Amino acid sequence: MSGYNPLLRLEQRAAEADQIIEFLKQQVHLLKEKAAAQASVKEEKKLMVENAKLKNDIEELKKQLLEKEKRRGVLEIAMPSGDTSVVCSSTVTPPNSSGAAPSGPVPAAAAAAASRKDGSKKTQEKKGGEKAEKKQAPPSQDNVKVDVSRLDLRVGRIISAEKHPDADSLYVEQVDVGEASPRTVVSGLVSHIPLAQMQNRLAVLLCNLKPAKMRGVTSQAMVMCASSPDKVEILDPPSGAQPGDRVMFQGFPGEPDKELNPKKKVWEQIQPDLRTDNQCVATYKGAAFEVAGKGVCKAQTMSNSGIK
Protein backbone atom coordinates (compact mmCIF):
# COMPACT_ATOMS: atom_id res chain seq x y z
CA MET A 1 0.00 0.00 0.00
CA SER A 2 3.03 2.25 0.42
CA GLY A 3 3.29 2.55 -3.40
CA TYR A 4 -0.20 4.13 -3.85
CA ASN A 5 -0.09 7.83 -4.79
CA PRO A 6 -3.51 9.50 -4.56
CA LEU A 7 -2.33 12.67 -6.23
CA LEU A 8 -1.12 10.82 -9.33
CA ARG A 9 -4.40 8.97 -9.47
CA LEU A 10 -6.35 12.22 -9.34
CA GLU A 11 -4.22 13.68 -12.10
CA GLN A 12 -4.89 10.64 -14.29
CA ARG A 13 -8.63 10.90 -13.62
CA ALA A 14 -8.53 14.62 -14.41
CA ALA A 15 -6.80 13.93 -17.74
CA GLU A 16 -9.39 11.29 -18.57
CA ALA A 17 -12.16 13.71 -17.66
CA ASP A 18 -10.65 16.36 -19.94
CA GLN A 19 -10.61 13.87 -22.84
CA ILE A 20 -14.22 12.92 -22.19
CA ILE A 21 -15.22 16.59 -22.01
CA GLU A 22 -13.44 17.34 -25.34
CA PHE A 23 -15.13 14.35 -26.98
CA LEU A 24 -18.50 15.51 -25.68
CA LYS A 25 -17.85 19.03 -27.01
CA GLN A 26 -17.10 17.56 -30.46
CA GLN A 27 -20.27 15.49 -30.34
CA VAL A 28 -22.33 18.51 -29.29
CA HIS A 29 -20.81 20.53 -32.19
CA LEU A 30 -21.62 17.77 -34.67
CA LEU A 31 -25.14 17.49 -33.31
CA LYS A 32 -25.60 21.26 -33.68
CA GLU A 33 -24.38 21.13 -37.31
CA LYS A 34 -26.68 18.20 -38.08
CA ALA A 35 -29.63 19.92 -36.47
CA ALA A 36 -28.89 23.09 -38.46
CA ALA A 37 -28.67 21.12 -41.73
CA GLN A 38 -31.93 19.33 -40.98
CA ALA A 39 -33.57 22.62 -40.14
CA SER A 40 -32.29 24.09 -43.42
CA VAL A 41 -33.68 21.19 -45.48
CA LYS A 42 -36.95 21.37 -43.62
CA GLU A 43 -37.13 25.11 -44.17
CA GLU A 44 -36.34 24.68 -47.87
CA LYS A 45 -39.11 22.11 -48.27
CA LYS A 46 -41.47 24.40 -46.42
CA LEU A 47 -40.54 27.30 -48.69
CA MET A 48 -41.04 25.13 -51.81
CA VAL A 49 -44.51 24.15 -50.61
CA GLU A 50 -45.38 27.76 -49.90
CA ASN A 51 -43.99 28.83 -53.29
CA ALA A 52 -46.11 26.26 -55.12
CA LYS A 53 -49.17 27.40 -53.18
CA LEU A 54 -48.47 31.02 -54.02
CA LYS A 55 -48.03 30.13 -57.69
CA ASN A 56 -51.40 28.36 -57.73
CA ASP A 57 -52.99 31.33 -56.00
CA ILE A 58 -51.51 33.68 -58.62
CA GLU A 59 -52.81 31.51 -61.48
CA GLU A 60 -56.26 31.48 -59.93
CA LEU A 61 -56.20 35.24 -59.44
CA LYS A 62 -55.01 35.65 -63.02
CA LYS A 63 -57.96 33.66 -64.33
CA GLN A 64 -60.40 35.65 -62.20
CA LEU A 65 -58.85 38.93 -63.37
CA LEU A 66 -59.03 37.90 -67.02
CA GLU A 67 -62.67 36.95 -66.66
CA LYS A 68 -63.51 40.27 -65.02
CA GLU A 69 -61.55 42.28 -67.58
CA LYS A 70 -63.18 40.43 -70.48
CA ARG A 71 -66.59 41.30 -69.09
CA ARG A 72 -65.48 44.93 -68.91
CA GLY A 73 -64.29 44.88 -72.52
CA VAL A 74 -60.57 45.08 -71.75
CA LEU A 75 -58.11 43.75 -74.35
CA GLU A 76 -55.99 40.85 -73.15
CA ILE A 77 -52.29 41.01 -73.97
CA ALA A 78 -50.67 37.66 -74.70
CA MET A 79 -47.62 37.06 -72.45
CA PRO A 80 -44.65 34.75 -73.00
CA SER A 81 -45.07 31.26 -71.60
CA GLY A 82 -43.82 30.85 -68.04
CA ASP A 83 -44.65 34.46 -67.01
CA THR A 84 -47.28 34.52 -64.28
CA SER A 85 -48.05 38.22 -64.68
CA VAL A 86 -51.02 39.57 -66.59
CA VAL A 87 -51.02 42.79 -68.64
CA CYS A 88 -54.27 44.29 -69.84
CA SER A 89 -55.03 47.43 -71.77
CA SER A 90 -58.42 49.07 -72.00
CA THR A 91 -59.69 49.82 -75.49
CA VAL A 92 -61.63 52.86 -74.20
CA THR A 93 -59.72 56.17 -74.05
CA PRO A 94 -61.23 59.30 -72.42
CA PRO A 95 -61.69 62.14 -74.93
CA ASN A 96 -59.08 64.90 -74.93
CA SER A 97 -60.84 68.27 -75.23
CA SER A 98 -57.69 70.09 -76.40
CA GLY A 99 -56.98 67.49 -79.09
CA ALA A 100 -53.34 67.32 -77.92
CA ALA A 101 -51.60 64.08 -77.11
CA PRO A 102 -51.67 63.16 -73.39
CA SER A 103 -48.59 64.18 -71.48
CA GLY A 104 -46.53 61.90 -69.30
CA PRO A 105 -45.02 58.46 -69.92
CA VAL A 106 -46.99 55.88 -71.91
CA PRO A 107 -48.27 53.07 -69.66
CA ALA A 108 -46.54 49.73 -70.14
CA ALA A 109 -49.88 48.05 -70.91
CA ALA A 110 -50.60 50.50 -73.74
CA ALA A 111 -47.09 50.04 -75.12
CA ALA A 112 -47.52 46.27 -75.00
CA ALA A 113 -50.89 46.56 -76.79
CA ALA A 114 -49.35 48.75 -79.50
CA SER A 115 -46.46 46.30 -79.90
CA ARG A 116 -48.87 43.39 -80.20
CA LYS A 117 -51.02 45.24 -82.71
CA ASP A 118 -47.94 46.10 -84.79
CA GLY A 119 -46.72 42.50 -84.65
CA SER A 120 -50.17 41.25 -85.67
CA LYS A 121 -50.24 43.70 -88.57
CA LYS A 122 -46.82 42.54 -89.77
CA THR A 123 -47.93 38.92 -89.49
CA GLN A 124 -51.06 39.68 -91.53
CA GLU A 125 -48.96 41.53 -94.12
CA LYS A 126 -46.59 38.56 -94.34
CA LYS A 127 -49.48 36.11 -94.72
CA GLY A 128 -51.08 38.44 -97.24
CA GLY A 129 -47.81 38.51 -99.18
CA GLU A 130 -47.60 34.73 -99.13
CA LYS A 131 -51.20 34.46 -100.35
CA ALA A 132 -50.46 36.99 -103.07
CA GLU A 133 -47.46 34.95 -104.17
CA LYS A 134 -49.60 31.82 -104.25
CA LYS A 135 -52.25 33.67 -106.22
CA GLN A 136 -49.60 34.86 -108.68
CA ALA A 137 -49.39 31.39 -110.19
CA PRO A 138 -48.54 31.10 -113.88
CA PRO A 139 -51.58 32.20 -115.87
CA SER A 140 -53.62 29.52 -117.55
CA GLN A 141 -53.31 29.06 -121.29
CA ASP A 142 -56.74 30.66 -121.67
CA ASN A 143 -55.33 34.00 -120.48
CA VAL A 144 -52.07 33.92 -122.45
CA LYS A 145 -51.78 36.25 -125.44
CA VAL A 146 -53.34 34.86 -128.58
CA ASP A 147 -50.86 34.05 -131.34
CA VAL A 148 -49.86 31.13 -133.52
CA SER A 149 -47.57 29.60 -130.86
CA ARG A 150 -50.71 28.31 -129.16
CA LEU A 151 -51.49 26.04 -132.14
CA ASP A 152 -50.08 22.51 -132.08
CA LEU A 153 -49.16 22.27 -135.77
CA ARG A 154 -47.30 19.11 -136.76
CA VAL A 155 -46.21 17.23 -139.80
CA GLY A 156 -48.37 14.16 -140.35
CA ARG A 157 -48.56 11.32 -142.85
CA ILE A 158 -51.99 10.38 -144.17
CA ILE A 159 -51.67 6.59 -144.08
CA SER A 160 -55.05 5.93 -145.64
CA ALA A 161 -58.22 7.77 -146.63
CA GLU A 162 -61.71 6.63 -147.58
CA LYS A 163 -65.11 8.14 -148.15
CA HIS A 164 -67.20 8.82 -145.06
CA PRO A 165 -69.92 6.15 -144.91
CA ASP A 166 -72.64 8.72 -144.18
CA ALA A 167 -71.42 11.90 -145.92
CA ASP A 168 -70.51 12.17 -149.59
CA SER A 169 -68.39 15.33 -149.10
CA LEU A 170 -66.16 13.95 -146.34
CA TYR A 171 -63.05 11.79 -146.19
CA VAL A 172 -62.09 9.75 -143.13
CA GLU A 173 -58.31 9.48 -142.83
CA GLN A 174 -55.90 7.63 -140.55
CA VAL A 175 -52.98 9.98 -139.90
CA ASP A 176 -49.59 9.36 -138.24
CA VAL A 177 -48.63 12.50 -136.27
CA GLY A 178 -45.73 10.94 -134.38
CA GLU A 179 -47.79 9.32 -131.63
CA ALA A 180 -48.18 5.70 -130.55
CA SER A 181 -51.22 5.21 -132.75
CA PRO A 182 -52.68 7.10 -135.75
CA ARG A 183 -55.39 9.71 -135.30
CA THR A 184 -58.72 9.62 -137.07
CA VAL A 185 -59.31 12.81 -139.06
CA VAL A 186 -62.44 13.82 -140.96
CA SER A 187 -61.90 16.32 -143.81
CA GLY A 188 -64.35 17.98 -146.21
CA LEU A 189 -62.01 17.58 -149.21
CA VAL A 190 -63.95 15.23 -151.49
CA SER A 191 -64.87 18.04 -153.90
CA HIS A 192 -61.27 19.33 -154.11
CA ILE A 193 -58.77 16.47 -153.72
CA PRO A 194 -59.11 13.13 -155.55
CA LEU A 195 -59.10 10.12 -153.25
CA ALA A 196 -55.93 8.78 -154.89
CA GLN A 197 -54.02 11.95 -153.88
CA MET A 198 -55.05 11.48 -150.26
CA GLN A 199 -53.16 8.22 -149.86
CA ASN A 200 -49.73 8.00 -148.14
CA ARG A 201 -48.91 11.70 -148.32
CA LEU A 202 -47.42 14.22 -145.93
CA ALA A 203 -49.53 17.12 -144.69
CA VAL A 204 -49.62 19.75 -141.96
CA LEU A 205 -52.14 19.03 -139.19
CA LEU A 206 -53.60 21.09 -136.39
CA CYS A 207 -53.54 18.64 -133.48
CA ASN A 208 -54.97 20.50 -130.49
CA LEU A 209 -58.49 21.29 -131.59
CA LYS A 210 -61.10 19.74 -129.34
CA PRO A 211 -62.17 16.41 -130.90
CA ALA A 212 -65.54 16.75 -132.66
CA LYS A 213 -67.97 14.31 -134.18
CA MET A 214 -68.67 14.77 -137.88
CA ARG A 215 -71.63 12.72 -139.01
CA GLY A 216 -70.95 10.10 -136.34
CA VAL A 217 -67.15 9.90 -136.72
CA THR A 218 -64.93 11.72 -134.19
CA SER A 219 -62.25 13.84 -135.83
CA GLN A 220 -59.06 14.30 -133.77
CA ALA A 221 -57.20 16.85 -135.92
CA MET A 222 -57.53 19.06 -138.99
CA VAL A 223 -55.63 18.98 -142.29
CA MET A 224 -54.29 22.47 -143.08
CA CYS A 225 -55.02 23.73 -146.60
CA ALA A 226 -54.61 26.84 -148.70
CA SER A 227 -58.16 27.76 -149.56
CA SER A 228 -60.21 29.98 -151.81
CA PRO A 229 -63.91 29.81 -152.76
CA ASP A 230 -63.16 27.70 -155.82
CA LYS A 231 -59.93 25.88 -154.97
CA VAL A 232 -58.24 24.03 -152.08
CA GLU A 233 -54.66 22.66 -151.80
CA ILE A 234 -53.19 20.63 -148.92
CA LEU A 235 -50.04 22.31 -147.53
CA ASP A 236 -46.87 20.35 -148.25
CA PRO A 237 -44.23 20.04 -145.49
CA PRO A 238 -40.57 20.51 -146.55
CA SER A 239 -38.52 17.64 -147.95
CA GLY A 240 -37.13 15.43 -145.20
CA ALA A 241 -39.85 16.26 -142.67
CA GLN A 242 -41.12 13.37 -140.57
CA PRO A 243 -44.45 12.68 -138.84
CA GLY A 244 -44.48 14.45 -135.48
CA ASP A 245 -42.13 17.29 -136.51
CA ARG A 246 -43.44 20.54 -135.03
CA VAL A 247 -44.17 23.49 -137.29
CA MET A 248 -42.65 26.65 -135.77
CA PHE A 249 -42.82 30.39 -136.48
CA GLN A 250 -39.92 32.84 -136.26
CA GLY A 251 -40.69 35.49 -133.66
CA PHE A 252 -43.51 33.54 -132.01
CA PRO A 253 -41.93 31.27 -129.38
CA GLY A 254 -43.95 29.32 -126.85
CA GLU A 255 -45.59 25.99 -126.20
CA PRO A 256 -49.00 25.15 -127.67
CA ASP A 257 -52.14 24.65 -125.59
CA LYS A 258 -52.82 21.05 -124.67
CA GLU A 259 -56.28 21.58 -126.13
CA LEU A 260 -57.79 24.78 -127.50
CA ASN A 261 -60.81 25.93 -125.54
CA PRO A 262 -63.65 26.44 -128.05
CA LYS A 263 -65.24 29.05 -125.78
CA LYS A 264 -62.13 31.27 -126.01
CA LYS A 265 -62.21 31.27 -129.84
CA VAL A 266 -58.40 31.04 -130.06
CA TRP A 267 -58.39 29.36 -133.48
CA GLU A 268 -60.97 31.81 -134.79
CA GLN A 269 -58.75 34.75 -133.73
CA ILE A 270 -55.58 33.33 -135.29
CA GLN A 271 -56.96 31.92 -138.54
CA PRO A 272 -57.48 35.25 -140.38
CA ASP A 273 -53.70 35.91 -140.20
CA LEU A 274 -52.80 32.57 -141.80
CA ARG A 275 -52.04 33.08 -145.49
CA THR A 276 -49.75 31.98 -148.28
CA ASP A 277 -47.43 34.69 -149.60
CA ASN A 278 -46.68 35.45 -153.23
CA GLN A 279 -44.26 32.49 -153.27
CA CYS A 280 -46.97 30.10 -152.00
CA VAL A 281 -45.18 29.84 -148.62
CA ALA A 282 -47.59 29.37 -145.71
CA THR A 283 -47.24 32.20 -143.19
CA TYR A 284 -48.64 33.76 -140.02
CA LYS A 285 -48.30 37.56 -140.03
CA GLY A 286 -45.40 37.17 -142.45
CA ALA A 287 -43.61 34.42 -140.44
CA ALA A 288 -43.27 31.18 -142.43
CA PHE A 289 -44.59 27.79 -141.38
CA GLU A 290 -41.15 26.24 -140.72
CA VAL A 291 -39.85 22.83 -139.69
CA ALA A 292 -36.56 23.42 -137.90
CA GLY A 293 -33.55 22.53 -140.03
CA LYS A 294 -35.69 21.22 -142.90
CA GLY A 295 -37.46 24.16 -144.52
CA VAL A 296 -40.85 25.80 -144.96
CA CYS A 297 -44.34 24.52 -145.74
CA LYS A 298 -45.94 25.57 -149.03
CA ALA A 299 -49.02 25.26 -151.18
CA GLN A 300 -48.51 23.85 -154.70
CA THR A 301 -49.84 26.76 -156.72
CA MET A 302 -52.01 28.95 -154.50
CA SER A 303 -50.36 32.25 -153.55
CA ASN A 304 -51.86 35.03 -151.45
CA SER A 305 -54.61 32.72 -150.24
CA GLY A 306 -56.14 32.09 -146.84
CA ILE A 307 -55.23 28.98 -144.86
CA LYS A 308 -57.69 26.87 -142.91
CB contact at 8 A, 273 and 284: yes
**Span 270-294, pLDDT tens digits:** 999 999 999 999 999 999 999 999 9
User: In the predicted model, what is the mean pLDDT of residues 110-120?
Assistant: 59
Neighbours of 112 (CB within 10 A): 17
Q: What is the pLDDT of residue 101?
A: 47
Q: What is the pLDDT of residue 51?
A: 82
Least confident of 2-11, 48-57, 223-232, 295-304: 2-11
Q: What is the pLDDT of residue 99?
A: 46
Residues shown for the chain: 308
Closest CA to 201 of 231, 219, 174: 174
CA distance 297 to 87: 80
At 275 the three-state DSSP class reads strand
Taking 50 as the threshold, does the pLDDT of residue 162 lie above it?
yes
**Span 65-93, pLDDT tens digits:** 888 877 777 555 555 554 544 444 444 44
Least confident of 1-10, 87-96, 112-121, 248-257: 87-96
